Structure 1
Amino acid sequence: MSNPPPKTILNKNKLSAKKTDREQMILAERIHIIFHQPLLKILLLGQGITVGITVIFLWGTVAPELLLVWLAWMVVMTIFWGGITLYYRHTLPPPQKAKRWAYIYLCSGLLLGATWGVTAFWPRVLADPSATVFLAIVVFGITTAGLAVFAPLLPAFYAFTMLSLVPYAIHFFIEGGKLYVTLGVMFLLYLLIILIIGDNMRRTLLESVLLRFENMELVNDLIKKNTLAEKAREQAVQAGMEKSKFIAAASHDLRQPLHALGLFVDALESRIRFPEVRKIVDNVRLATATLSDLMNGMLDISKLDAGVLQPVVSEFSIQPLLDRIAIEAEQNASEKGLRFRLRHCRAVVRSDSNMLDRILRNLVANAIHYTEQGSILVACRYRKKNLCIEVRDSGIGIDKNKLEKIFKDFYQVDNPERDRAKGHGLGLAIVERLAKLLGHTLTVNSKPGQGSTFCLCLPRVTNLSPTLEMPPSPPVYLDDVAGATVLVIDDEIMVCEGMADILTRWGCKALLADSAETAWEQLKANGLQVDVIISDYRLRENKTGVEAIECLQKKTRQVFPVIIVTGDTAADRLREANASGYHLLHKPVSPGKLRSLLSYLLNDSRTEFSDKKSNRPLA
């Protein structure tokens, strides 16, 4: 099994590479490669064995004391080389010390080369042809092996190779004779060849190191860019969160007075005596309704983003739903001089009927809004197991580069001046979110001046059942709220006053409180009798209406019908309020909707909510 490649010094010091000279880093990397090459141990062991064999072979030819001194020096050199190798691998010196290690390495090459070169001048060696040939082979082998060790650092390689081979060539030429001159020439040729090979190895290694540096720089640049991108993303997320918090806070603060304003307008309308006052009140009501529409659109977006709305999927015939949409659409289209057409469809689909109704109503209303002449067509097409409902218009159309933008919040195709009469730009944003929530595919094709086609594809049921109809409408309850005692908990004085006025006009008895404590006092003063509790969700001191109601029910050991009214649009607040299990209304609440829900709770004490709460034991 082969040894894994050594870790490069670039990995450990990549951060300091910015502060260190590039050439110094390259030198440090080359030295690092030398001391971490897997063959180094084998070469040191091979040199030790070669030295031993040389001493044995030349014993008797060379003076023993000379051989023993040479052997001792070689042992010292081998131990020294092995020691500095272990030290380097253990400490992994920083690039700043690369030159010092290069000098150590150069000196090692000089000493080792000279130690082998001195054998050329041993007495009586050249007199013995076998000893001469043996040493020539040994020196050739040692210098060849030195390629792997010294080639990464060219000065050390030159020193080792030349000090090993040149002494033999000089000695051969001095000795003279055909044999020794030939050997001298061979040594010089071999020296030239091995120097060329060593230089090529050095260049290859240097190119590899440079390429590694370039890759590392690219990686560092990529890391830097990714870091900047991540920071930018985090800043964008943070900005988005801050924006959401701001919008949620602003929405809550706006909904409070808007809710009270709606109550006061309703109260004022019943007291109008002069026609000119009615006109003013009607304008105020219209302005309030416009602002309420905007707030409700933002609330729908927040609900969808928070995951509060969950589809209730069922199988139903699509035609009754389309017929109901057509009744309203035909009237709106005729007011603009447009023709509305609906093609009959017998398909049965699988979806949430309320959400699907909302999607199609928005698409049809959008088509009528942006069409000045011509017609609007709603038609269905079968595509395999799906039903595709198309809403076509002959309106202004949309540029190709704007098609993706039309589903963004507050974006409007032809309203740069932000004319409120042209809507708020939330309809298609809600449509897209609802389609994604239902898992339906929504596409749009359009050309400027040629109209647009919105296509919604949803699953259809192939095994048709003739009895399938739209879900039944909820039962209508009698409007008998008069005589009811209603506890209102809200820390806004003007909301309490508005609620008190409207409840009094409905014939109800209103108990007003701004906290759980004052609500308890009101309950005790009224003999613990109350028919319905209407509470704001967010109260003072970080308390919630749910907590206040739980406290009251625990103290009275009673379960009351509850309506939670909230002006929050923050995702977490919506989830908390929705999880309470109580009936939830969002500010601004129209008096009609409030009275309808109040009547529902008073007429039917066996609602699902009441059953759930009454089965829960109280402490």
Structure 2
Amino acid sequence: MRYGQFAADMGDGAARLFQRAVSTPVEDELEHKQAWIRLALLVLISTYATVASIIVAPEHRIEPWAIAVLSYFACYTPLALGLLYNVRRYPGHYPARRLFSMANDYAGLAFAIIAGCVVMLPVYAIIMWVTVGNGLRFGSRYMIVAAIMAQITLATITLLTPYWQANPPLVVTLSLTALIVPLYIRTLQRSTEQARRDAEEANTAKSRFLAQASHDLRQPVHAIGLFLNSLTQTGLAPEQRGIVDRIDRSLQGVAELFRSLLDISTLDSGAVTPKLEPVSIGQLFRLLEQQNQVSAEWAGIDLRFVQSDRVVLADKALLLTMLQNLVSNAIKYAPRGPVLIGCRPRGEYVSIWVVDCGPGIAAEHLPRLFDEFYQIRKLGSADTQGVGLGLSIVRRLGALMDFDAEVRSRPGHGTAVAIHGLVAAAAAVPQVVDRDNSYAAPLHDLRVLLVEDDIDVLDATAHLLRSWGAQVAAWSIAPPQAQPCDLIVTDFDIGGGMTGADCIALHRHVSPPPMAIVMTGHDEMAIEEIIADAGVLILKKPVQPAELRSAIAALRSRQERLPTG
């Protein structure tokens, strides 16, 4: 029984040896480079053996030992080429391939030293290079294996070389060097790995803090924004309305900051996975216009969108976030001037440009604009809201979809930022029918089920919806059963172990099923995956009243276009 178990374990170990283990692109690239370096070393050692033989030989000719080395390496070259092809054709961490290549490397070096004796002693340096190189490339386990193989190689050379047998101090020195150097490097590796783990843990903690802080602070900011909108409908005097407008502007700046912090923390977590699909540029431009209309009016900006019927392959939410950051920057840094947003075909690709007529950016700042937290600060210049994350988010989101971001600017002439590499798609995207009166239409016929566990947000949202004429049933917890309603407006986390997805699922079997909007401070892409319903709109808190009203209008327009009967 014990023998059977031992055999089974040995069989499993052998199977794992030939299986592909997890590897990184950097590790694959290092193994590919190692295969090329192996070929270069074959040429280098062969050249050294030839030249050394001619110099040392009394008759200045290639001696038999050099011919033997050259013959061995000539036979080894096809194997080295095969390893290079295999690494390129089958990238990944294959332990058997790495061990096989290491064993052959040490065998070739041992043969060269045994054949050339004293003349080929400098090849020992390459033995050290192979030992240290495998450990630095592939980790501590390979460092240990390489150190053991190096000791076996030196022992073999000693047994087969009389000169080494006659010089024990030389053998001991070389053996200790081949043992101490890898051990010392292993110690440094462990310190470096620990420092890297500490840095990663600190970065993860930072991301968690940013995500939690931005999520928790979004809730009161969201409530304040809704209450401010309700306050404007109470017959304020012009002076009072002006004060409320200023508060609202400051609040939107805070909301934009939280949005950037949440976006960067989500990217740091590695949880963003793009889903490429046909996206209408025209629809994106309409969404951008709705989201930035108020901010543009405050800044005195004339937003000009060059409408397009082009369709590209992209993740709609991620591309919208990229463009929103670019438009926000243009509004923030180029006030009192027009901003043009349009697209330009480039062969099979499409580029989207955001062009402003602001003060422009000096050339020395352009290379660092995409760095996190980088801002151009001049003594005496006016303060601007933000922490310098917008363009960093643009570049990182673009990298996920293989898009490139470019900035062109001339001081005094404005700035142009482009997103390149969007692949044109042939598939048609249903166009949303714009209704001029969709926003202004009353909601007297709309029954709204409002679910929000924060009492302040619940009261503010209910007051806002009722001011639009809707019939609102407000719940601070998930209702125990389906409620008669036309629209569900719910937070995602609603307490009692329930989520907005549960609330929506409770009403899916109602005929007709109600429309649904989820307002959340979490990452909207993660919420979309949980809800798994393309008909549900996800709005990221804090939500502006105009954004909520537009979302309701879009849902009603979509519902009206659905076939009946």
The reply on whether 1:201 has 2:165 as its aligned counterpart is yes
CA–CA separation in structure 1 for the residues paired with 2:308 and 2:465:
47
Match in the other structure for 1:605: 559
Match in the other structure for 2:277: 312
CA–CA separation in structure 2 for the residues paired with 1:487 and 1:346:
37
How many residue pairs are counted as aligned between the two chains? 407
Structure 1 residues 285-324: aligned runs within 5 Å? 285-301=248-264, 306-307=271-272, 310-313=275-278
Match in the other structure for 2:88: none
The reply on whether 1:228 has 2:228 as its aligned counterpart is no
Structure 1 residues 571-590: aligned runs within 5 Å? 572=526, 575-576=529-530, 582-590=536-544
**CA spacing shift, 1:217–1:474, aligned 2, 3 Å:** farther
Question: Match of 1:201, as an amino acid?
Answer: Q
Partner of residue 211 from structure 1, selected from 168, 171, 174: 174
CA–CA separation in structure 1 for the residues paired with 2:156 and 2:273:
63
CA–CA separation in structure 2 for the residues paired with 1:505 and 1:472:
30
Q: CA deviation at 1:352?
A: 5.1
Partner of residue 241 from structure 1, selected from 159, 179, 204: 204
**CA spacing shift, 1:558–1:293, aligned 2, 3 Å:** same
Q: CA RMSD in A?
A: 5.5
Partner of residue 520 from structure 1, selected from 480, 484, 487: 480
**CA spacing shift, 1:296–1:216, aligned 2, 3 Å:** same
Q: CA deviation at 1:341?
A: 12
CA–CA separation in structure 2 for the residues paired with 1:374 and 1:278:
25
CA–CA separation in structure 1 for the residues paired with 2:511 and 2:280:
42
The reply on whether 1:561 has 2:515 as its aligned counterpart is yes
TM-score, scaled to structure 1: 0.51
CA–CA separation in structure 2 for the residues paired with 1:373 and 1:480:
34
Retained in 2: the 8 A contact 1:316–1:470? no
Partner of residue 536 from structure 1, selected from 462, 475, 491: 491
Structure 1 residues 63-102: aligned runs within 5 Å? none
> 1:414 is paired with a residue of what secondary structure?
coil
CA–CA separation in structure 2 for the residues paired with 1:279 and 1:373:
20
CA–CA separation in structure 1 for the residues paired with 2:401 and 2:340:
24
The reply on whether 1:397 has 2:352 as its aligned counterpart is no
Identity over the aligned pairs, expressed in percent?
A: 27
Q: CA deviation at 1:584?
A: 1.0
Q: CA deviation at 1:428?
A: 1.5
> 2:472 is paired with a residue of what secondary structure?
strand
Structure 1 residues 99-498: aligned runs within 5 Å? 201-203=165-167, 205-301=168-264, 306-307=271-272, 310-313=275-278, 350=312, 366=329, 395=359, 397-398=361-362, 400=364, 403-414=366-377, 421=384, 423-444=386-407, 456-458=419-421, 472-476=431-435, 477=438, 479-498=441-460
> 1:585 is paired with a residue of what secondary structure?
strand
Q: CA deviation at 1:508?
A: 1.9
Retained in 1: the 8 A contact 2:314–2:422? no
Q: CA deviation at 1:529?
A: 1.8
CA–CA separation in structure 1 for the residues paired with 2:274 and 2:502:
23
Question: Match of 2:500, as an amino acid?
Answer: G
Q: CA deviation at 1:399?
A: 5.8
CA–CA separation in structure 2 for the residues paired with 1:428 and 1:281:
31
Partner of residue 469 from structure 2, selected from 494, 502, 507: 507
TM-score, scaled to structure 2: 0.55
**CA spacing shift, 1:586–1:379, aligned 2, 3 Å:** closer
Q: CA deviation at 1:268?
A: 0.8
Q: CA deviation at 1:315?
A: 8.8
Consecutive unaligned residues of structure 2, counting only runs of 5 or more, are 1-102, 111-147
**CA spacing shift, 1:542–1:244, aligned 2, 3 Å:** farther
Retained in 2: the 8 A contact 1:308–1:575? no
Q: CA deviation at 1:232?
A: 2.3
Q: What whole-Å deviation, never above 9, does each CA across 1:483-516 have from its counterpart, x for those lacking one?
A: 3221111111111111221122122222122222
Q: What whole-Å deviation, never above 9, does each CA across 1:164-185 have from its counterpart, x for those lacking one?
A: xxxxxxxxxxxxxxxxxxxxxx
Partner of residue 550 from structure 1, selected from 489, 501, 505: 505
CA–CA separation in structure 2 for the residues paired with 1:488 and 1:267:
17
CA–CA separation in structure 1 for the residues paired with 2:496 and 2:336:
57
Q: What whole-Å deviation, never above 9, does each CA across 1:141-192 have from its counterpart, x for those lacking one?
A: xxxxxx969x9xxxxxxxxxxxxxxxxxxxxxxxxxxxxxxxxxxxxxxxxx
Structure 1 window deviating more from structure 2 (484-493 vs 447-456): it is: 447-456
> 1:262 is paired with a residue of what secondary structure?
helix
Q: What whole-Å deviation, never above 9, does each CA across 1:390-430 have from its counterpart, x for those lacking one?
A: 76989553465x54532134421226999753544233123
Retained in 2: the 8 A contact 1:568–1:574? no
**CA spacing shift, 1:367–1:509, aligned 2, 3 Å:** closer
CA–CA separation in structure 2 for the residues paired with 1:432 and 1:485:
43
Consecutive unaligned residues of structure 1, counting only runs of 5 or more, are 7-28, 40-146, 152-196, 615-619
> 1:584 is paired with a residue of what secondary structure?
strand
Q: CA deviation at 1:226?
A: 2.4
Q: CA deviation at 1:260?
A: 1.1
CA–CA separation in structure 1 for the residues paired with 2:273 and 2:156:
63
Question: Match of 1:312, as an amino acid?
Answer: E
Q: CA deviation at 1:475?
A: 3.4
> 1:529 is paired with a residue of what secondary structure?
coil
